[in-house]
């Protein structure tokens, strides 16, 4: 459902990704593994259209180069960036609702989606009316996941979701992902992580990013960065 064909990204004269080719099948859970600076974030950002790149990225058979970045979430792509990037002026719930409102979902669709999100992440409900600027870093990661779930009906990309989380919270987050996986067998998940041990329980496959190149890896094995 997602295919990179000969993708190269150059930033400030440095090649971040070199002629990358890989395919992700629908309903797979992919662990995108690599050290800091290897190019994991850039891989996700190029799906969102935030990098200048050469080559092609196909999503459900469609060349994403023809789709404006702001139209890509509407294809069913939810993205939770590493640094959360919530809108601090709005409440937690407003943040979660916004992708659905922007995409023009009906009130009933939004309600249904919100119920599902609260079902998977019940802690979000208790902080629904708090300004997003006041939640802790770990809680913010949960909110960012909730926001990605609102629109990510086909593909959900989570960038370093466990980084900086206290162990208890990391455990909670992994649990929420497992519930999500159980509830929705169709959706495709791509999760970047520098510590693949956290993902070996539920990822189907590992892709390793190393020095701007990508290869198949082993979960929990020698590819632990």
Partner 1 sequence: MNPQLFALAIFDGIAYAALVFLVAVGLTLIFGVLRVLNVAHGSFYAMGAYATASVGAAIFAAGYSPWLAFPLMLVAAVLVGVIVGGPIEKLLLSRIYEMEEVLQILVTFAVFMILEDVQRLIWGAQPFFEASALMALGNVEVFGITYTAYQLILLPAVAVSVLIGLRLFLRRTLSGKLILAVTEDREAATSIGINAERVYLVTFIVGASLAAFGGALASATTSVQPGMGADMIVLSFAVVATAGLGQIEGAALAALLIGLGRSFAIYLWPELEVLIPYLIMLLVLLIRPEGLFGKSRTRKI
Per-residue contact string for residues 9-48; x = within reach of partner 1 by CB under 8 A: ---------------------------------------x
Q: What is the 3-state secondary structure (H, E, C) of 87-137?
A: CCCCEHHHHHHHHHHHCCCCHHHHHHHHHHHHHHCHHHHHCCCCEHHHCCH
Query: Taking the complex as a whole, how short is the minimal distance between the CB of residue 81 and partner 1, in angstroms?
Result: 7
> Exposed/middle/buried for 181, CB within 10 Å: 0-12, 13-18, 19+?
middle
The residue within the footprint of partner 1, chosen from 55, 81, 138, 164 (CB under 8 A), is 81
Q: Which is nearer to partner 1, 86 or 170 (CB)?
A: 86
The residue within the footprint of partner 1, chosen from 34, 39, 73, 140 (CB under 8 A), is 73
Radius of gyration over alpha carbons of the chain, in Å? 17
Under rule CB under 8 A, residue 105 binds partner 1: no
Residues from 136 through 175 that contact partner 1 (CB under 8 A): 147, 151
Under rule CB under 8 A, residue 99 binds partner 1: yes
The residue within the footprint of partner 1, chosen from 26, 36, 54, 70 (CB under 8 A), is 70
Under rule CB under 8 A, residue 76 binds partner 1: no
Stretch that binds partner 1, among 1-9, 54-62, 100-108, 196-204 (CB under 8 A): 100-108
The rounded distance, in Å, linking the Cα atoms of 186 and 192 is 20
Q: How many CB atoms lie within 10 A of CB 196?
A: 23
Under rule CB under 8 A, residue 212 binds partner 1: no
The beta-strand segments (E) located in 110-212 are: 155-158, 188-193, 205-210
Q: How distant, in Å, are the alpha carbons of 102, 125, 152, 207, 216 from that of 119?
A: 22, 9, 16, 30, 34
- Kindly list the residues in this chain that would bind partner 1 in the complex (CB under 8 A): 48-50, 68-74, 79, 81, 85-90, 94, 98-99, 101-103, 147, 151
């Amino acid at each position: 459902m997602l295919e990179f064909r000969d993708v190269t990204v150059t930033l400030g004269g440095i090649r971040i990704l070199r002629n990358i080719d890989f395919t992700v099948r629908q309903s797979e859970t992919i662990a995108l593994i690599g050290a800091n600076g290897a190019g994991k974030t850039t891989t996700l950002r190029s799906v969102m259209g935030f990098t200048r790149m050469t080559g092609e990225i196909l999503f459900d058979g469609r060349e994403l180069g023809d789709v404006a970045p702001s139209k890509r979430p509407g294809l069913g792509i939810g993205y939770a960036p590493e640094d959360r990037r919530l809108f601090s002026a709005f409440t937690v719930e407003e943040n979660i609702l916004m992708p659905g409102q922007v995409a023009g979902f009906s009130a009933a669709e939004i309600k249904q989606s919100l119920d599902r999100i609260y079902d998977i992440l019940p802690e979000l409900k208790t902080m629904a009316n708090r300004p997003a600027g006041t939640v802790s870093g770990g809680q913010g990661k949960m909110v960012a996941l909730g926001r990605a779930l609102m629109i990510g009906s086909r593909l959900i990309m989570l960038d370093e979701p466990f980084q900086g989380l206290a162990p208890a919270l990391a455990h909670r987050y992994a649990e929420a992902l497992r519930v999500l996986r159980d509830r929705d067998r169709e959706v495709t998940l791509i999760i970047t992580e520098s510590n693949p041990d956290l993902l070996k329980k539920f990822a189907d496959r590992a892709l390793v990013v190393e020095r701007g190149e990508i290869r198949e890896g082993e979960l929990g094995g020698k590819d632990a960065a």
